[in-house]
Structure 1
Amino acid sequence: MATRADEAGEVRPSWKLIGPGIVVAATGVGAADLVATLIAGSKFGYALLWAVVLGCLLKIILVEGAGRWTLATGTSIYDGWAKLGVWTSIYFVPYIIVWGFVYGAAAMAGTGLPLNALFPVLPTPVWGIISGIAGALLVWFGRYATFEKVCAVLVGIMFVCVVGAAIITVPNLPQLLAGLVPTIPDGGAVNVLSLAGGVGGTITLAAYGYWLREKGWSTPRFMKVMRIDNTMAYVITGIFVVATLIMGAEVLYSAQVAVSSGDKGLLDLTNVLQERYGFIASKVFLVGFWAVAMSSLIGVWNGVSLMFADFVRRARSEPVDSPNARTGGKYYRAYILWLTFPPMILVALGRPDWLILAYTVLGAFFMPFLGLTLIFLLNSKAMGQWRNRWWANVGLVLVAVLFFYLGFNELTKAFT
Structure 2
Amino acid sequence: MTDATQVGEGNAPDAGVPPTSGRWKLIGPGIVAAATGVGAGDLVATLIAGSRFGYALLWAAVIGCIVKIALAEGSARYHLATGSTMLEGWKSLGRWTSWYFGIYIIIWGFVYGATAMSATALPLAALFPAVPLWIWAILSGVLCATFVALNRYEMFENAMKVCIGIMFVVVVGVALIVVPNVGQALAGLIPTIPDGSVVYTLGLIGGVGGTITMASYGYWVNAKGWRTPEWMGVMRLDNRVSYIITGIFVIAMLIIGAEMLYTAQIALSSGDRGLLDLDKVLRERFGPVVSIVFLIGFFATAVSSILGVWHGVSLLFADFIRVHIKGGTGSRVGLEKSAAFKFYLFWLTIPPMTLLWFGRPFTLVIIYGALGAFFMPFLAITLIWLLNSARVPKEWRSSWLSNGLLGLSAALFIVLCINELVGLVSGS
1:13-412 maps to which residues of 2 (within 5 A)? 13-314=22-323, 315-324=325-334, 326-384=335-393, 385-412=395-422
Q: In 2 relative to 1, CA 227–322 (structure 1 residues): closer, same or farther, beyond 3 Å?
A: closer
Q: What is the CA distance between 1:143 and its match in structure 2?
A: 0.5
Q: What is the distance in 1 between the residues matched to 2:418 and 2:259?
A: 33
Partner amino acid, structure 2, of 1:260: S
Partner amino acid, structure 1, of 2:203: S
Q: What is the distance in 2 between the residues matched to 1:269 and 1:281?
A: 11
Partner amino acid, structure 1, of 2:328: E
Q: What is the distance in 2 between the residues matched to 1:117 and 1:192?
A: 31
8 Å contact 2:167–2:301 — kept in the other structure? yes
1:2-21 maps to which residues of 2 (within 5 A)? 2=3, 11-12=19-20, 13-21=22-30
Q: What is the distance in 1 between the residues matched to 2:363 and 2:72?
A: 31
Partner amino acid, structure 1, of 2:46: T
Bigger Cα displacement from structure 2, 386-395 vs 69-78: 386-395
Partner amino acid, structure 1, of 2:247: G
Q: What is the CA distance between 1:132 and its match in structure 2?
A: 0.4
Q: In 2 relative to 1, CA 323–388 (structure 1 residues): closer, same or farther, beyond 3 Å?
A: closer
Q: In 2 relative to 1, CA 15–396 (structure 1 residues): closer, same or farther, beyond 3 Å?
A: closer
**Residue aligning to 2:12:** none
Q: What is the distance in 2 between the residues matched to 1:2 and 1:287?
A: 33
Q: What is the CA distance between 1:160 and its match in structure 2?
A: 1.5
Q: What is the distance in 2 between the residues matched to 1:243 and 1:129?
A: 31
8 Å contact 2:40–2:119 — kept in the other structure? yes
Q: What is the distance in 1 between the residues matched to 2:270 and 2:37?
A: 18
Q: What is the distance in 1 between the residues matched to 2:415 and 2:406?
A: 14
For 1:79-103, what per-residue CA distance to the aligned partner results, in whole angstroms no more than 9, with x for missing partners? 0000000111111111000000000
For 1:303-329, what per-residue CA distance to the aligned partner results, in whole angstroms no more than 9, with x for missing partners? 0000000010112133542445x2222
Q: Secondary structure at the match of 1:125?
A: helix
> What percentage of residue pairs aligned between the two structures are identical?
57
Query: Which blocks of at least 5 consecutive residues in structure 1 are unaligned?
Result: none
Q: What is the distance in 1 between the residues matched to 2:174 and 2:404?
A: 38
Q: What is the CA distance between 1:2 and its match in structure 2?
A: 3.7
Q: What is the CA distance between 1:3 and its match in structure 2?
A: 7.7
8 Å contact 1:23–1:152 — kept in the other structure? yes
Q: What is the CA distance between 1:396 and its match in structure 2?
A: 1.3
Query: Which blocks of at least 5 consecutive residues in structure 2 are unaligned?
Result: 6-16
RMSD between aligned residues: 1.5
TM-score, reference length from structure 2: 0.94
Q: What is the distance in 1 between the residues matched to 2:286 and 2:345?
A: 40
TM-score, reference length from structure 1: 0.96
Q: What is the distance in 1 between the residues matched to 2:321 and 2:271?
A: 33
8 Å contact 1:72–1:383 — kept in the other structure? yes
Q: What is the CA distance between 1:159 and its match in structure 2?
A: 1.1
Q: Secondary structure at the match of 2:184?
A: helix
8 Å contact 1:11–1:221 — kept in the other structure? no
8 Å contact 1:143–1:328 — kept in the other structure? no
Q: What is the CA distance between 1:17 and its match in structure 2?
A: 2.2
Q: What is the distance in 2 between the residues matched to 1:301 and 1:50?
A: 32
**Residue aligning to 2:425:** 415
Q: What is the distance in 2 between the residues matched to 1:396 and 1:280?
A: 44
8 Å contact 1:37–1:241 — kept in the other structure? yes
Q: What is the CA distance between 1:15 and its match in structure 2?
A: 3.8
Partner amino acid, structure 2, of 1:259: L
Q: What is the distance in 1 between the residues matched to 2:63 and 2:370?
A: 25
Partner amino acid, structure 2, of 1:256: Q
8 Å contact 2:72–2:217 — kept in the other structure? yes
Q: What is the CA distance between 1:175 and its match in structure 2?
A: 0.9
